[in-house]
Structure 1
Amino acid sequence: MMNSTNKGNTTLTDTDEAKPSIQNLNNPIAANMHFEIKKIGILFDCDFYIPDEGDHTGIAFRLAYYKVTSAKWSLSNRALCVYVGSMLCSVVPGFRTSVEKSLNEIGIRPRFVSLPSQAKENKVEITYASQLDWSSILVIFGYCILILFNHDDFKNDAVGYKNYISNCIVGLKAKFRWDPSNQLNIPFDSTKVNIISTMLGSDDLRATVKKFLMSNSNHSDSQVGNVCKYLSDVLS
């Protein structure tokens, strides 16, 4: 005689229990079992600005920064992450693999546009690019690195977090002979910060960034070295 048991609202028979599909649900997953979830869905293409080889104008960084900070543009969460990723990779091309992986994981396929050489064919208006010198770029770059990381101490304290990050920006500026009249559009508002941290700030990218910072505290460009050492200390 076939026995049956009730599990929730479903009645399972001995025959059912023997079926592989049922056993997969009823049996606990062994520690040595491995499986992966395949990504399903559409990847959205989005322009990702990178500098031409040998470019020293910072045009890719400056245009991405403009897109993030200008009130003229209403950015989707994905586009925001793309432009911040572009800024990071414009300064450190070695971040590109980790940034691209992070973007893929949130449904984005970067369409790399090298600037200024590919601006015309991709209908990218580079005249919008913000005017930034090297020290300004490094301060913004450092700020973008900081907001990749979760700052748990301030998770429920917006005022505390704003004070903390503002002090970090002051610390970054102190690494240069900073002109007080040089105003930057940072910090970003808390909504943008949360989007960047949770969507772009993958474990892989954070690990890549930390490794770079620790390896470049004595960089031949003293400004880069000072920023790396400062950020390394803050994130340690």
Structure 2
Amino acid sequence: MTDIDFYVQDVNGDTTGMAFRMAYYAAKYHSKNNKEFCTYVGSMLCSVVPGFRNSVEAALKEICVKPRFVSLPSQANETNIAISKVPQLGWPSILVVFGYCILLLFKLSFHNDEGYCYNNSVSHRIRELKAKVTWDPSNTLDIPFDATKSKAVSTMLGSRDLRVTVLTFLMNNSNHPDSQIRNTELRNYADAFAAVLSHSFS
């Protein structure tokens, strides 16, 4: 088993989304292989929906990864995390990245009938998600997935159990307990994932 950092929010909660933001930063800049990348994606998923954790842990176990839990922000200093370097992502940005991670779990096809290349297809999916959240067009967002990493998420993290867990959540997301997400954002959040369910998956 390989021990890899897995960022979780403090038990008492965190209104800044630091665990997600740190996992995003690690995925973008510090993942040396697909196992690390998938672990950081799993961390992002669980940072938004803690109820995914058991299924994510089981999926990681299947690829011989043992999560090394880092609770944020309380353990930032002892794990040498420079809070100032963690990217500042608002909840609309977090939801767009989270939504894209969900699409990858369901083995989304990145080529449509018109033969669009990977980058064009990715841009299209991201625009769809941005349209469903309170997105400021002046913001920039770099989603750290190329074709190889996207396939790794689908094949290494997208277990049947996790996908069932995610679908169950999507069907009941109006009961999402996370007070960090404002009511307006939650309604947009529900709309965003109606788009997810409209895509086919294997």
Work out whether the TM-score is over 0.5: yes
**What does 1:177-192 correspond to in 2, within 5 Å?**
177-186=134-143, 188-192=145-149
Q: Are residues 153 and 89 of structure 1, via their aligned partners in 2, closer, same or farther at CA, if it must alter by over 3 Å?
A: closer
Let me know the Cα RMSD of the aligned residues.
2.3
Secondary structure of 1:212's counterpart equals helix
TM-score w.r.t. length of structure 2: 0.85
- Equivalent in the alignment of 1:64: 23
Note if 1:103 corresponds to 2:60: yes
Secondary structure of 2:66's counterpart equals strand
Q: Are residues 142 and 74 of structure 1, via their aligned partners in 2, closer, same or farther at CA, if it must alter by over 3 Å?
A: closer
Which among 9, 16, 21 is matched to residue 51 of structure 1?
9
**What does 1:115-126 correspond to in 2, within 5 Å?**
115-126=72-83
Q: Are residues 100 and 195 of structure 1, via their aligned partners in 2, closer, same or farther at CA, if it must alter by over 3 Å?
A: same
Q: Deviations over 1:7-60 (max 9, x none)?
A: xxxxxxxxxxxxxxxxxxxxxxxxxxxxxxxxxxxx111110001132110001
Secondary structure of 1:132's counterpart equals coil
One-letter amino acid of the structure 1 residue matched with residue 22 of structure 2: L
Task: Output the CA distance in 1 between the equivalents of 2:24 and 2:162.
Answer: 20
Q: Are residues 57 and 50 of structure 1, via their aligned partners in 2, closer, same or farther at CA, if it must alter by over 3 Å?
A: same
Percent identity reads 54
Q: Deviations over 1:43-93 (max 9, x none)?
A: 1111100011321100010111111123xx352211101100000000000
Instruction: Tell me which structure has the larger Cα radius of gyration.
Output: 1
Which among 98, 105, 126 is matched to residue 148 of structure 1?
105
Preserved CA contact (<8 Å) 2:105 2:153 = yes
One-letter amino acid of the structure 2 residue matched with residue 58 of structure 1: G
- Equivalent in the alignment of 1:224: 189
Task: Output the CA distance in 2 between the equivalents of 1:89 and 1:186.
Answer: 17
Preserved CA contact (<8 Å) 1:214 1:229 = no
Task: Output the CA distance in 2 between the equivalents of 1:81 and 1:158.
Answer: 27
**What does 1:141-180 correspond to in 2, within 5 Å?**
141-152=98-109, 154=111, 159-180=116-137
Secondary structure of 1:234's counterpart equals coil
Task: Output the CA distance in 2 between the equivalents of 1:158 and 1:124.
Answer: 43
- Return the offset for 1:224: 2.5
Preserved CA contact (<8 Å) 2:110 2:122 = no
Preserved CA contact (<8 Å) 1:50 1:114 = yes
How many residues are paired up?
A: 191
Preserved CA contact (<8 Å) 1:140 1:186 = yes
Q: Deviations over 1:96-121 (max 9, x none)?
A: 00000000110011011110111222
One-letter amino acid of the structure 2 residue matched with residue 54 of structure 1: G
Q: Which has the higher contact order (CA 8 A, sep 6+)?
A: 2
Q: Are residues 158 and 44 of structure 1, via their aligned partners in 2, closer, same or farther at CA, if it must alter by over 3 Å?
A: farther
Q: In structure 1, list runs of 5 or more residues that go unmatched.
A: 1-42
Preserved CA contact (<8 Å) 1:45 1:109 = yes
One-letter amino acid of the structure 1 residue matched with residue 129 of structure 2: L
Secondary structure of 1:181's counterpart equals coil
Task: Output the CA distance in 2 between the equivalents of 1:211 and 1:137.
Answer: 21
Q: Are residues 173 and 189 of structure 1, via their aligned partners in 2, closer, same or farther at CA, if it must alter by over 3 Å?
A: same
Task: Output the CA distance in 2 between the equivalents of 1:106 and 1:177.
Answer: 36
Note if 1:138 corresponds to 2:138: no
